[in-house]
Amino acid sequence: CMALDLRLSQVRTGVAWEEVSIMDEKNIPIRTYQVCNVMEPSQSNWLRTDWIPRSGAQRIYVEIKFTLRDCNSLPGVTGTCKETFNLYYYESNNDREHYIRESNFLKIDTVAADESFTQVDIGDRIMKLNTEVRNVKVTTRKGFYLAFQDVGACIALISVRVFYKTCPLSIRNLATFPDTNTGADTSSLVEVKGSCVNQSEEREEPKMYCGADGEWLVPIGGCVCIPGYEEKGGACQACKVGFYRAVSTDGACSECPPHSHSEKAGATVCDCNPGYYRSETDPASMPCTQPPSAPQQLISEVNETSVVLEWSAPLRLGGRTDIRYKAGSLGDVLFSPQQSGLGATRVCVSELQAHTRYTFTIGARNGVSQGHTAGARESVSVTLTTNQAAPSPVTSIQASDVTRHDVSLAWQQPARPNGVILEYEVKYYEKNQKERSYRIMKTASRSADITGLNPLTVYVFQVRARTAAGYGEFSAPFEFSTNSVTFLPTSPCTPSTSKQDLEEEKHLNPGVRIYVDPFTYEDPDQAVHEFAKEIDASNIHIEKVIGIGEFGEVCSGRLRLQGKREIYVAIKSLKAGYADKQRRDFLSEASIMGQFDHPNIIRLEGVVTRCKPVMIITEYMENGSLNTFLRKHDGQFTVIQLVGMLRGIVSGMKYLSDMSYVHRDLAARNILVNSNLVCKVSDFGLSRVLEDESEAAYTTQIPIRWTAPEAIAYRKFTPASDTWSYGVVMWEVMSYGERPYWDMSNQDVIKAIDEGYRLPPPMDCPVCLHQLMLDCWQRDRIHRPSFTQILNILDKLIRNPTTTLRRTGGERPVPTLLEPVGGPEFVSVWSVEYWLQAIGMDMYKDTLTAAGYTSPDSLLTLTQQDMASIGIVTPSHQDQILASVQQVLLSHMQQIQEQMQDSMVPV
Ligand code: ACK
């Protein structure tokens, strides 16, 4: 309760009230107000207090102590004697009112004496002391006055106490609630918001209600100690050293889990002891743990060219249950169910080479392995040798040179030959005859010329390979139809199809699109309109000349077609005064281009043939031709960007070769680059094919530096000769537009190639890319990779650039001597250094070279003892080197064997 400032001494007396000093029961003098007009009727004697400020209170309490004479105890009193008095109040802002009219006061209550009178000695009288409390709402003014009205009783006011009630400052659920005045009504509840104590945060908004009697009611919500602190006696105290509290919803601080500690009070997490770790997802309550030790008892079971590896769990799991295993091996092998993240202690390895030594490692990892080691080796390994196995099926059969009776087939070596391929067997039969009657042909090379077929007949071809281990499975059936007409002599080597054939082809082989030679049309305009859209010249807006082409100017400009956005285009025009033949040749490019639809082939928008000049409209390539573009930006691209360009080109070339189109002039100058660095194959002019083929005219037209030897020698233009050119484009790209063979003469280039020399790796060119170039430049065209294979290889490099593209052949001065390949020792592109780098053992480069191990042949005799004697002592390193030596030797032996076989097969 809070007392209000009441000064009794200043209570104004009315006419009848007297201020009297008396002694209280302890003989202390007190002042009282008395009245006792019991003999006269109609009494109304008023006594009021000074102004009392209400100090924010809304309901005040008045406690009155008084004595009252029992009318019966007064001798001779008539009916005028009363035993009650009235209590009044009046609210006011004025603290100094002299006169307040009685009618302005509002009555609080009539007060009567209590039953239980207390006896009080006042002077010589024994009185009974009454205590009465009344309350009233005071909300309208700053303060109030109280008044007492006597109506004819005999009263003495001993004391008047005025107070109001508050709910006292209190802390509930870690929230502080301030001292709060109670409400105005006897039933009112005042809502109060609490504030969180130090080092605590709100869990749910803390609230309580202050009741009319000064009691706090209904606590809601509250606060919780922040992490690192715990609740003690309504406050938040820091966790002691060795304890932690991670989240505010936890209970008290907890002792640090095993293998961890906290050095300061107030820890939210305990740090791991040295050598122990926690993974990102481990809760703070979990003990710190360790990486596992190595798996144990690795055993292998070889089944031909697959292996089952089984092992048991490590000795020490490091205190965790999330152990996973990872298998490793050198080379392209297939792990199932997968290579890493293995939950079970078993993995199957397939697609292994037959008769080959492999080393497999099994490593154990858990949630804390990343960046930490268990101190000891975490993996076990096993070395084994696979058994003999038949070759895997032949893939990618391709037909070329199709005539009425003949077809040339070529195919890829099986992905896993599993030994030296002794021969291939081609089985073929007429499709509608099924396999009732078939013919077999055997060949040592990867191609076969099949003759004596019936015209316009669908044949099914299947090929299988044989090694010492026997025959492999047949390839999937490959269907092809012989022609009804023979080819025009003008395009002797382009495997194209006449219009009539195309119709039949579509009928026989729905879904396979083959390029149609526009020269099989009698009317050249019919051909061009079959494949190209005629554009009205008024829709073309020529802006500027950007170059000179074979037939006239090349301009840039804009094209607006109805209902389409305006686009930038390149416009090739045919210069005035042309002959009919030139018009036909010029438009043949559009007839060819119009058949293609691929993101890496320049797109034809249309042609203008109905008015002059005759024009070919193509998409506009902002960066112009690739060779000039690269020269302009010498050294400015990353290897990945360059490989990205090469990938685009090969993707376009694959599309062309799938359509059976042979480009014949693939070179960086005929690749165009747009603003996004997308490369597109262009220049489909047929003129070079159709010109007068007399020897002299012919060779002057052939781009010698880009052309495969067989195409130079006897005009054998095939997808494989395009592959040769692609190798040269790779070299141009990696050397930023350098001229192939620099300033050597054409004759010298032909001679050098014939002698087995090839362009060296450009500066900073990754080894694997130069290797791919060398593959494209294989003398025997059937050994060159197909565009599909090149595309796959580049995709692999792009997907895994750090391990594949990082290795360059070092900085080489350019120009330099060409590198010999295919010399008598067949080892030119192999080096100890690259090999050791590839298997991660480059630290032994000097050791091995110093001991004379510099070629695959020299490694033939290498043994564990040899290695130990020259200082390679770590058993796992010895294993790894030996396993890899086997593989190196095997692939070299195979290569040599193939080259020897090929040299025996007449080309
Ligand atoms: O190297 P460039 O700038 O790119 O010079 C040649 C020139 O015309 C003669 O062929 C350029 N050129 C050809 N076709 C296009 C095209 N579609 N977009 C942009 N430039 C082109 C080529």
Closest CA to 669 of 763, 589, 549: 549
Q: Which pLDDT band, with edges at 50, 70 and 90, does 115 fall under?
A: low
Helix (H) or strand (E) holding 346: strand 346-350
- Residue 5 known to be catalytic: no
Q: Is 554 in the pocket of ligand 1 (CB under 6 A)?
A: yes
What residue owns the CA closest to ligand 1's atom 14? 570
pTM, entire model: 0.42
Indicate which atom in ligand 1 lies nearest the CA of residue 621.
18
Q: Is 625 in the pocket of ligand 1 (CB under 6 A)?
A: yes
SS3 at position 518: helix
- Per-residue burial over 754-774, b = 16 or more CB atoms within 10 Å of its CB, e = otherwise: eeebbbbbbbebbbbbbebbb
User: Under 8 Å CB-to-CB from 378, ≥6 apart: which residues?
Assistant: 291, 292, 293, 294, 363, 364, 365, 369
What is the tens place of the pLDDT at every residue in 654-672? Answer: 999 998 899 999 999 999 9
Helix axes 787-799, 767-776, angle to 10 degrees: 180
Q: Is 617 in the pocket of ligand 1 (CB under 6 A)?
A: no
The DSSP string of 661-706 is ---S---GGGEEE-TT--EEE-----HHHHS---HHHHHHHS-GGG
What residue owns the CA closest to ligand 1's atom 20? 624
Helices (H), 369-522: 499-508
- State both tokens at 586: 């010029």
What is the tens place of the pLDDT at every residue in 329-375? Answer: 877 789 999 998 999 999 999 888 777 888 899 999 999 987 776 54
Position 11 scores a pLDDT of: 45
Q: Which pLDDT band, with edges at 50, 70 and 90, does 803 fall under?
A: low
Position 837 scores a pLDDT of: 72
CB 605 within 8 A of CB 530: no
Rounded Cα distance, 743 and 738, in Å: 11
Rounded Cα distance, 438 and 460, in Å: 9
Place of tokens 């043994």: 863
- The Å distance, Cα 572 to ligand 1 centre, comes to 9
Q: Which one is catalytic: 150, 517, 585, 665?
A: 665
CB 592 within 8 A of CB 681: no
Higher-confidence residue of 447 and 506: namely 447
- The Å distance, Cα 624 to ligand 1 centre, comes to 5
Binding site as annotated, residues for ATP: 546-554, 572
Q: Is 80 in the pocket of ligand 1 (CB under 6 A)?
A: no
Helix (H) or strand (E) holding 653: helix 639-658
Position 617 scores a pLDDT of: 97
Q: Which pLDDT band, with edges at 50, 70 and 90, does 806 fall under?
A: low
| Most confidently predicted of 1-10, 132-141, 389-398 | 132-141
Is it the case that residue 811 has pLDDT exceeding 60? Answer: no
- State both tokens at 5: 């400032």
What residue owns the CA closest to ligand 1's atom 5? 547
Q: Is 620 in the pocket of ligand 1 (CB under 6 A)?
A: yes
Best of 574, 621, 626 to mutate for ligand 1, by most ligand atoms within 8 A of CB? Answer: 621
- The Å distance, Cα 625 to ligand 1 centre, comes to 6
- The Å distance, Cα 546 to ligand 1 centre, comes to 7
Average pLDDT over residues 508-517: 61
Is it the case that residue 118 has pLDDT exceeding 80? Answer: no
* Max Cα-Cα span within the chain: 167
User: Under 8 Å CB-to-CB from 295, ≥6 apart: which residues?
Assistant: 311, 312, 313, 314, 325, 345, 362, 363, 364, 379, 380
Position 858 scores a pLDDT of: 74
Is it the case that residue 4 has pLDDT exceeding 70? Answer: no
- The Å distance, Cα 278 to ligand 1 centre, comes to 61
Q: Which pLDDT band, with edges at 50, 70 and 90, does 842 fall under?
A: confident
What residue owns the CA closest to ligand 1's atom 6? 547
Q: What's CA 210's distance to the chain center, in Å?
A: 56
Is it the case that residue 561 has pLDDT exceeding 70? Answer: yes
The overall average pLDDT reported for the chain is: 84
Average pLDDT over residues 153-173: 93
CB 51 within 8 A of CB 162: no
Indicate which atom in ligand 1 lies nearest the CA of residue 669.
1
Q: Is 387 in the pocket of ligand 1 (CB under 6 A)?
A: no
Strand pairing category for 379-385 and 334-336: unpaired
Give the type of residue at 300.
Answer: S
CB 182 within 8 A of CB 59: yes
Rounded Cα distance, 339 and 348, in Å: 9
What is the tens place of the pLDDT at every residue in 437-494? Answer: 788 888 888 999 898 888 888 899 999 998 877 888 899 888 888 875 433 322 334 3
Q: Which pLDDT band, with edges at 50, 70 and 90, does 785 fall under?
A: very high
What residue owns the CA closest to ligand 1's atom 21? 624
Rounded Cα distance, 234 and 211, in Å: 22
Adjacent-strand bridge partners of 243: 255
Give the type of residue at 594.
Answer: G
Position 15 scores a pLDDT of: 63
- The Å distance, Cα 567 to ligand 1 centre, comes to 16
Indicate which atom in ligand 1 lies nearest the CA of residue 629.
1
Best of 589, 619, 671, 672 to mutate for ligand 1, by most ligand atoms within 8 A of CB? Answer: 672
- The Å distance, Cα 412 to ligand 1 centre, comes to 37
Is it the case that residue 900 has pLDDT exceeding 60? Answer: no
Q: Is 550 in the pocket of ligand 1 (CB under 6 A)?
A: no
Q: Is 162 in the pocket of ligand 1 (CB under 6 A)?
A: no
Q: Is 557 in the pocket of ligand 1 (CB under 6 A)?
A: no
What is the tens place of the pLDDT at every residue in 849-879? Answer: 888 887 766 776 778 888 888 888 887 788 7
CB 734 within 8 A of CB 809: no
Is it the case that residue 744 has pLDDT exceeding 90? Answer: no
Rounded Cα distance, 35 and 622, in Å: 116
Closest CA to 454 of 430, 487, 485: 430
- State both tokens at 470: 């026997």
Q: Which pLDDT band, with edges at 50, 70 and 90, does 839 fall under?
A: confident
Indicate which atom in ligand 1 lies nearest the CA of residue 547.
7
- The Å distance, Cα 683 to ligand 1 centre, comes to 10
Q: Is 674 in the pocket of ligand 1 (CB under 6 A)?
A: no
Adjacent-strand bridge partners of 63: 133, 161
Q: Report the percentage of the chain scoring pLDDT > 90.
A: 47
Indicate which atom in ligand 1 lies nearest the CA of residue 619.
17
Is it the case that residue 509 has pLDDT exceeding 70? Answer: no
SS3 at position 75: coil
Q: Is 618 in the pocket of ligand 1 (CB under 6 A)?
A: yes
Please say whether the dihedral angle defined by the alpha carbons of residues 701, 704, 708 and 709, taken in this order, is positive or negative. Answer: positive
Burial of 72 (0-12, 13-18, 19+ CB in 10 A): exposed
Is it the case that residue 96 has pLDDT exceeding 70? Answer: yes
Give the type of residue at 846.
Answer: D
- The Å distance, Cα 597 to ligand 1 centre, comes to 20
- Report how far apart, in Å, the C-alpha atoms of 225 and of each of 194, 202, 257, 308, 621 are: 15, 9, 21, 56, 66
Position 511 scores a pLDDT of: 43
Helix (H) or strand (E) holding 134: strand 125-137
Q: Is 570 in the pocket of ligand 1 (CB under 6 A)?
A: yes
Is it the case that residue 556 has pLDDT exceeding 80? Answer: yes
What is the tens place of the pLDDT at every residue in 749-782? Answer: 999 999 888 998 898 888 889 999 999 999 999 9
Binding site as annotated, residues: 546-554, 572
Best of 546, 671, 684 to mutate for ligand 1, by most ligand atoms within 8 A of CB? Answer: 546
Q: Which pLDDT band, with edges at 50, 70 and 90, does 517 fall under?
A: confident
What is the tens place of the pLDDT at every residue in 35-72? Answer: 988 888 889 999 999 999 998 999 999 999 998 888 88
Closest CA to 590 of 616, 610, 612: 616
Place of tokens 């396979």: 512
What residue owns the CA closest to ligand 1's atom 3? 624
Q: Is 624 in the pocket of ligand 1 (CB under 6 A)?
A: yes
Angle at alpha carbon of residue 905, lines to 487 and 427, rounded to 5°: 65
Closest CA to 382 of 365, 362, 363: 362
Give the type of residue at 125.
Answer: R
Position 848 scores a pLDDT of: 87
What is the tens place of the pLDDT at every residue in 382-402? Answer: 888 888 888 888 988 888 877
Position 191 scores a pLDDT of: 95
Position 64 scores a pLDDT of: 94
Rounded Cα distance, 841 and 587, in Å: 59
What residue owns the CA closest to ligand 1's atom 12? 624
